[in-house]
């Protein structure tokens, strides 16, 4: 995807610290101070324009949410949504997902959402896939015991790869749909990509997986 340059984006991000957390490393292990409560925290890695995470925060005020996005020109669209919605249980993080452990400590996160991640189809780019084993370890290191990953994509090859990766890592498969929009799954909130792809007739794949405590114990 080619990103449109928005030279004003950096300034806008810095001018809205109440929505985009500045210097997030200082809150590692104490994010309850930012939200003012001890509610569970869910994060979306690669939040894009923010429709999914904003609607999730509206629907579940009992959960705190972070939208994680690296690109200035993308996160400002999510910022516009958040400014309009003004949700106390949603913040944005302008960071690289590969650095999550710098900003979150063990037990900080209960759930990770991966929605329509870049498939990185070439074998030499496997390590960049957000469901690669190194990323699964990264998520585990910041999650509570029994934390979950919820994953959606329209890319069949990435979905098949991810199911294998989850299985090899020892994650427990809780839910799987090979055609989400034709299933009886309730409460689905679409991303911008999901809306676009589904309108083209693309099948949407979804799964939920859970970390098992014994995996962590055996790897210590």
pTM, 2 dp: 0.93
Residue 87: its pLDDT value, please?
96
The answer to whether residues 134 and 127 touch, using CB atoms and an 8 Å cutoff, is: yes
Q: Which residues of 154-175 are buried (b: 16+ CB within 10 A; e: fewer)?
A: bbeebbebbbebbeebbbeeee
Share of the chain above pLDDT 90, in %: 88
What pLDDT is recorded for position 4? Answer: 65
Task: Find the catalytic residue in 80, 99, 105, 118.
Answer: 118
11 pLDDT exceeds 50? yes
Residues 6+ apart with CB under 8 A from 67: 43, 44, 47, 50, 53, 54, 75, 78, 82, 90, 91, 92, 93
Per-residue pLDDT, 8: 81
Residue 11 annotated to the active site: no
Both tokens of 108, joined, read: 């900080």
Query: What is the secondary structure of 37-49 as a DSSP string?
Result: S---EEEEES-TT
Q: What is the mean pLDDT of the chain?
A: 93
Phi and psi based region of residue 46 (left: phi greater than 0; alpha: psi -120 to 50; beta: remaining): left
CB neighbour list of residue 157: distance below 8 Å, 6 or more residues apart: 119, 121
What pLDDT does residue 7 have? 75
pLDDT 10s digits, 38-84: 999 999 999 999 999 999 999 999 999 999 999 998 999 999 999 99
Predicted pLDDT of residue 6: 79
As a whole number, mean pLDDT of residues 145-160 equals: 97
Q: pLDDT at position 3, please?
A: 54
> pLDDT confidence of 103, banded at 50, 70, 90?
very high
**What gap in Å lies between CA 72 and CA 95, rounded to an integer?**
10
* CA distance readout (Å), 83 to 57, 88, 119: 13, 11, 30
Query: DSSP letter at 171?
Result: P
Q: Is the pLDDT reported for residue 125 higher than 60?
A: yes
Q: Does pLDDT of 21 surpass 50?
A: yes
Token digits for 148? 């979950």
- The per-residue pLDDT for 145 is 96
Residue 30 backbone dihedrals phi, psi, to 5 degrees: -145, 45
């Amino acid at each position: 995807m080619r990103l449109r340059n928005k030279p004003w984006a950096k300034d806008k991000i810095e001018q809205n610290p109440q929505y985009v957390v500045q210097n997030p490393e200082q809150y590692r292990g104490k994010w309850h101070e930012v939200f003012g409560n001890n509610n569970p925290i869910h994060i979306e890695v690669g939040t894009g324009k923010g429709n999914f995470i904003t609607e999730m925060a509206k629907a579940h005020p009992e959960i705190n949410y972070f939208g994680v996005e690296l690109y200035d020109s993308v996160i400002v669209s999510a910022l516009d949504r958040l400014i309009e919605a003004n949700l106390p249980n949603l913040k944005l993080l302008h960071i690289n997902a590969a650095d999550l452990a710098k900003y979150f400590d063990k037990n900080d996160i209960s759930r990770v959402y991966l929605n329509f991640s870049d498939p990185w189809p070439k074998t030499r780019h496997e390590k960049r896939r957000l469901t690669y084993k190194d990323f699964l370890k990264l998520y585990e290191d910041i999650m509570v015991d029994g934390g979950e990953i919820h994953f959606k994509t329209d890319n069949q090859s990435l979905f098949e790869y991810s199911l294998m990766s989850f299985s090899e890592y020892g994650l427990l498969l809780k839910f799987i749909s090979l055609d989400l929009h034709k299933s009886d799954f309730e409460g689905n909130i679409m991303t911008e990509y999901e809306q676009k792809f589904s309108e083209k007739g693309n099948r949407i794949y979804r799964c939920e997986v859970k970390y098992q405590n014994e995996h962590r114990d055996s790897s210590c």
